[in-house]
Amino acid sequence: MTGRVLEGIRAVEFGQFYVGPYTSEALAYFGAEVIKVESIRRPDPTRWFGSTGGPDPKIIILTDPNKSVGFNELNLNKLSVNLDLTKPKAVELAKKIAEVSDVIVENNRPGVLDRLGLSYEAIREVKPDIIYLSASCRGSTGPERNYAGFAPIFGSLGGLSEITGYADGPPAPPIGGRTDIVCGTANAFSIITALIHREMTGKGQYIDNSDSEVISCLVWDTIMDYNLNGRIQTRRGNKDDIFAPHDCYRCKGEDDWISIAISNDEEWRAFAGAIGNPDWAKEERFQDAYLRKKNEEELDRLISQWTISHTKYEVMDILQKAGVAAVHSFSSKDFFSDPHLKERGAFTEVEHPVIGRLTVMNPPWKLSATPAEIVRHAPLFGEHNNYVFGELLGMSQEEIKALMDEQVIY
């Protein structure tokens, strides 16, 4: 078979920032046609975010909605149309698009789309088997349903921030999209299971997802420790409860670090052998897991003395060849030049009409029969008004022009 899994499936996205956009980007990787609805009154705010990154990262506020590299990374393969949903005519057009679609993805604050007349009930009237997913910080029911939040917020509400960070430092809230994209992944998973159900029964459904619940599910074993033992776990750097060594150690080079985790005596002996069986490694105080954990501080100091005299690639090479789990802490620069990722094709390029050639990350799965693929750059703002309103909805150029003049397609 050629072609992608969701070819023939159409999704409408009323999304912003990360969670909603990644949800439908994943569907678009699998071949769904995703139509992103935005308005000049409020484009996806990610269109305005550039970043300098680096040691002094600043968010740059862009003035051109078509220049954000981050937006490109989160909206690949999609189409973009403009609708000012505060106008009833625009809402009618959005419903017309929904009528010829299979899936709705939205991550507005609960109630926003309802007030605009685009609730699940409203869409179901025009498309009875629609699969409609709402993602929000706390879900669309319950006393805190109206509470707003981005990743650092739902990461903290979900319990992840408290257990991440140095033991002697403040909690480390998640930044940079990692928790958003987990939520988007869970959302896309639930949408595809709903599609499977629709295939079997002909029925669509409403899916109400809460970002902070997705996060709590990722740390549930920690929560169980409280339920079972009343223990309130907190952050412990890179450490493990039982095993040592288990940390990041400095290597030769600038801000280069290697993570080493040893979980049994066999790995310990392999480690000691690989670093040339120094006398300290033979000392009794490091000979079993219990003792290594007990003398962890001293052990870490001794290991650092060895790692600091080697480059991170040397350490990885020496230890992995001996069967020890050691790999360096990858930076963006490391990703760019790493031979393994190159061979696996972790990245690809797209030609963006405004920004130029851009490196993008390939979908994180290799499917042998129905590959997930990047087929185009993120859409320019309103790039597909003509295709969607003209070809898909069958409107004439004059009608489209008139609605643009009325600032409905806007």
Residue (40 or 242) nearer to another protein, CB? 242
What are φ and ψ of residue 370, in 5° steps? -125, 75
Q: How far apart are CA 347 and CA 340, in angstroms?
A: 11
Residue (166 or 405) nearer to another protein, CB? 166
Tokens encoding 398: 């004059």
Q: Report the run of H or E that residue 282 belongs to, with start and end.
A: helix 279-282
The CB-of-53 to another protein minimum distance in angstroms stands at 4
CA angle at 225 for the pair 219 and 226, rounded to the nearest 5°: 100
Residue (265 or 391) nearer to another protein, CB? 265
Q: How far apart are CA 38 and CA 24, in angstroms?
A: 14
Residue (68 or 385) nearer to another protein, CB? 68
Contact 35, 384 (CB under 8 A): yes
b/e burial code for range 59-86 (CB count within 10 A of at least 16 → b): eeebeebbbbbbbbbbbbbbbbbbbbbe
Residue (37 or 188) nearer to another protein, CB? 188
The CB-of-224 to another protein minimum distance in angstroms stands at 4
The CB-of-81 to another protein minimum distance in angstroms stands at 22
The CB-of-172 to another protein minimum distance in angstroms stands at 4
Tokens encoding 99: 């009528």
- Reported for 338-342, long-range contacts at CB under 8 A and 24+ positions apart, including other chains, are none
Please choose, from the candidates 130, 128, 123, the residue with its C-alpha nearest in 3D space to the C-alpha of residue 195: 130
DSSP letter assigned to residue 363: P
| Ramachandran quadrant class, 306 (left: phi over 0; alpha: psi -120 to 50; beta: rest) | alpha
Return the SS3 of 406: coil
The CB-of-6 to another protein minimum distance in angstroms stands at 7
Residue (347 or 387) nearer to another protein, CB? 347
Residue (41 or 282) nearer to another protein, CB? 41
Return the SS3 of 348: strand
CA-based torsion, 119, 123, 129, 132: positive or negative: negative
**How far apart, in Å, are the Cα atoms of 58 and each of 23, 37, 151, 251, 336?**
26, 28, 18, 28, 22
Residue (4 or 384) nearer to another protein, CB? 4
Q: How far apart are CA 300 and CA 237, in angstroms?
A: 13
The CB-of-211 to another protein minimum distance in angstroms stands at 9
Residue (36 or 328) nearer to another protein, CB? 328
DSSP bridge pairs for 10: 33
The CB-of-252 to another protein minimum distance in angstroms stands at 15
The CB-of-389 to another protein minimum distance in angstroms stands at 29
Residue (195 or 400) nearer to another protein, CB? 195
Q: How far apart are CA 187 and CA 134, in angstroms?
A: 9
The CB-of-407 to another protein minimum distance in angstroms stands at 21
The CB-of-402 to another protein minimum distance in angstroms stands at 32
